[in-house]
């Protein structure tokens, strides 16, 4: 039996991995592989991008509803938890690929771990250019989702994240 798939409707705000928070603007029929299939039209306000995702690919793409209160509490536990040890040896490109993979899963817990660790590493010893870009992406996704869920500005959400991690007062 297939896993229960969330049903989205026009007007729902969702999280789309590798794009961030978006709003479902429409459901259109698109012609794919000799067949018409319903497709979600999702607008990402931050980038002014619109993506179309066939409904039967929604789960595979990692599109999910925004966080509820329980999941938000779980996220804050991850943000305030002890950081992973920074691996300084080895291939930095592989390390950055792993960080990017975690961001692109769309898992709020994995994105939270990335933001927590990179913010703390930045304060301790600085980040490479690539790590800084990954931090900007991940913290932006997280802040916009928290802002949407809690009805606050993105900047207020970033400050809340920093407070939780224990690095406020740094950029």
Give residue 85's pLDDT: 76
What is the DSSP code (8-state) at residue 47?
T
CATH number attached to the domain at 13-65 = 2.40.10.170
As given in the structure block, the two tokens for residue 144 are 């916009």
Residues 6 or more apart in contact with residue 161 via CB below 8 angstroms: 79, 115, 119, 139, 142, 143, 146
Give residue 171's pLDDT: 47
Mean pLDDT across the chain, nearest whole number? 89
For the chain, the structural domain boundaries read 13-65, 69-165
Give residue 72's pLDDT: 95
What is the per-residue pLDDT across 96-146, written as a single tens digit (0 to 9) for each? 999 999 999 889 999 999 999 999 999 988 898 999 999 999 999 999 999
Counting residues of the chain whose pLDDT is more than 70, the rounded percentage is 92
Confidence check: pLDDT of 90 > 80? no
Which of 46, 64, 130, 68 has its CA nearest to residue 96? 130
CATH class of 69-165: mainly alpha
Residues 6 or more apart in contact with residue 39 via CB below 8 angstroms: 27, 28, 29, 30, 52, 53, 54, 55
């Amino acid at each position: 039996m297939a896993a229960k798939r969330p049903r989205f409707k026009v007007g729902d705000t969702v999280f789309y991995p590798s794009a961030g928070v978006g709003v479902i603007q429409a459901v259109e029929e698109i012609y794919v592989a000799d067949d018409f299939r319903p497709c979600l039209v999702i607008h990402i306000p931050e980038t002014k991008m619109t993506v179309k995702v066939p409904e039967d690919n929604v789960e595979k793409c990692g599109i999910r509803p925004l966080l509820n209160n329980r999941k938000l509490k779980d996220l804050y536990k991850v943000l305030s938890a002890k950081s992973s040890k920074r691996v300084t040896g080895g291939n930095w490109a592989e390390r950055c690929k792993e960080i990017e993979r975690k961001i692109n899963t769309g898992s709020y817990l994995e994105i939270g771990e990335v933001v927590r660790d990179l913010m703390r590493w930045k304060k301790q010893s600085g980040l490479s250019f690539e790590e800084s870009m990954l931090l900007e992406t991940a913290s932006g996704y997280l802040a916009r989702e928290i802002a949407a869920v809690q009805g606050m500005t993105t900047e207020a959400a970033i400050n809340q994240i920093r407070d939780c991690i224990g690095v406020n007062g740094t950029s």
